Amino acid sequence: MSLAYTVICGSVRETRIGSRDGRMGLRVSRMVCQELEKQGHKVNFIDLKDLNLPMLKYTFAEYDDLIDEDIPESYQTAWDQIKKADGVIFISAEYNHNMPPALKNFIDHLSMGDLSQKMAAVVAYSIGPFGGCRAVPALKESLTVLGAISLPDVLLLPTVEKAIEEDGKIKDEKLENRLKKFLNKAHWLAEALKNHRN
């Protein structure tokens, strides 16, 4: 079954040109989007750097209640892409053992029900040896609060700059298998929930 996925890149910091420590979130996002598309799924990609949300003033839903201010079109599009998705994949770096602030800020713009009965999966990465694992518990907890059904499996990517090229191409054959297995589990859960969502 072809599924509708939304993939969110949670890191927004500037790429330092010439540095090996650029914004790694993009290459991870590209890898995931490319594999999903190769498998025939519909993919929407939200780059939080492009979305450029302010620190939370109004949740997306609250814009409806405002008299003087409409929700900006790009926010509405991103919100719709969350609500319409069969599965949402969050690409998370680990900053000081937690998720990037832009990702938390985006999640806080959502409301109860936006992710309701929807598969949410986490791909975490770091340039160090732990693959972003310490950012995962807080992220999963926030997703669960919003009603998502969190995929128990997490794809952790240590030394990410060595594993994935800038264009998303996988350098490491083992990672290709890990990615496919991880996505198969995501498809299974997303499809099961799609068939039973109210």
Ligand X SMILES: Cc1cc2nc3c(=O)[nH]c(=O)nc-3n(C[C@H](O)[C@H](O)[C@H](O)COP(=O)(O)O)c2cc1C
Q: Is 13 in the site for ligand X (CB under 6 A)?
A: yes
Q: How many CA atoms lie within 13 A of 66 on its CB side?
A: 12
Q: Is 93 in the site for ligand X (CB under 6 A)?
A: yes
Q: Is 95 in the site for ligand X (CB under 6 A)?
A: yes
Q: Is 104 in the site for ligand X (CB under 6 A)?
A: no
Residues of span 21-80 touching ligand X by CB under 6 A: 21, 23-25
Instruction: Pick the closer one to ligand X by CB: 23 or 118.
Output: 23
CB 56 within 8 A of CB 109: yes
Residue span binding ligand X (CB under 6 A) among the ranges 57-65, 89-97, 101-109, 114-122 = 89-97
Residues of span 120-139 touching ligand X by CB under 6 A: 126-128, 130
Rounded Cα gap, residues 4 and 41, in angstroms: 6
Phi then psi for residue 7, to 5 deg, are -110, 130
Output the smallest distance, CB 150 to ligand X, in A.
21
Output the smallest distance, CB 24 to ligand X, in A.
4
In 87-172, which ranges are E strands? 87-92, 119-125, 149-157
Instruction: Pick the closer one to ligand X by CB: 96 or 195.
Output: 96
Instruction: Kindly give the residue spans of alpha helices, DSSP state H, lying in 24-172.
Output: 25-38, 48-51, 73-84, 101-109, 136-145, 160-163
Rounded Cα gap, residues 163 and 22, in angstroms: 14
Residues forming contacts to ligand X in the complex (CB under 6 A) are: 11, 13, 21, 23-25, 93-97, 126-128, 130
